[in-house]
Amino acid sequence: AARVPQAEDQSPLDLRVVPRERIAAAGADGLAQLLQREAGLELAANGGPGQPVGLFLRGSNANHVVLLIDGVRVNSATTGTNAFEHLAPDQIERIEVLLGPASGLYGADAIGGVVQVFTRQADGLAVDLGVGSEATRRAAVRWGHADGATRVSLGASWHATDAGSATNPDNAFSYNADGDPYRNTSGFAVLEHDRAPGHTLAARLTLADT
């Protein structure tokens, strides 16, 4: 939360940390579902899986929350808000949520708070497979290698579901019986080099096709 390594119990700010163990146990379809389980966070989805999601912290607007992935800002080019809906849980190591104003550290739009996502750093080869209701299928593969102060990680994931209609069947005017299937193919590449203690040069590439 202070942009430097710090123990959670030593932070003077209202900070929530979601570790990898809880992410794996949640079985969530995406980052939005993971955040929805945390107290004090309000989310509003505009449809079924993969549709824009608004996150509201401390009574602020959805565009007053900063989303960072490995320290890099991520915003939707079409909605003007953060793209919470497409990041696969298989790629997430932990999530840190800072509740409350943080504009002094993260910019003028961090009025409500900051959500920072740290991606997983693979050591060797790892493969994850999963199935669920509504014909949900998930697959992920990660590979990582370290050579001294230099590390490289590669990963890809695929998620598909044949979800039913996200509209309200009790509303005769807006109900649409058609299903809301969702497909998400994503990947990432990370190259890091430690120049000195506390100083790391990194290049990251994240792609998603939905």
pLDDT tens-digit series, residues 117-162 = 998 877 899 898 888 887 888 899 999 999 999 999 999 989 888 8
At 114 the pLDDT is 92
From residue 81, give the alpha-carbon distance in Å to each of 34, 74, 129, 176. 18, 9, 31, 26
Which residue carries 């959500």 as its tokens? 115
The most distant pair of C-alpha atoms in the chain lies apart, rounded to whole Å, by 63
At 2 the pLDDT is 57
Confidence of residue 44 (pLDDT cuts 50, 70, 90): confident
pLDDT over 60 (residue 1): no
At 11 the pLDDT is 66
CATH 2.170.130.10 domain span(s) along the chain: 11-119
Residues sharing a CB contact under 8 Å with residue 102, sequence separation 6 or more, in sequence order = 1, 13, 66, 110, 113, 114
Confidence of residue 39 (pLDDT cuts 50, 70, 90): confident
CA dihedral 101, 105, 107, 113 (to 10 degrees): -30
**For the segment 190-208, what is each residue's pLDDT rounded down to a tens digit?**
999 999 988 889 998 888 8
Residue 1 in contact with residue 12, Cβ under 8 Å? Answer: no
- Amino acid making up residue 50: G
Average pLDDT over residues 99-124: 88
Burial 39-61 (b: 16+ CB within 10 A, else e): eebeeebeebbbebbbbbbbebe
* pTM of the shown model: 0.76
pLDDT over 70 (residue 9): no
Average pLDDT over residues 97-125: 88
CATH of 11-119, one of 2.170.130.10, 3.40.50.970, 1.10.1040.10, 2.70.70.10: 2.170.130.10
Nearest C-alpha neighbor of 89 from the set 39, 129, 135, 29: 29
Residues sharing a CB contact under 8 Å with residue 177, sequence separation 6 or more, in sequence order = 165
At 145 the pLDDT is 93
Residues forming beta bridges with residue 99, ordered by sequence position: 14, 113
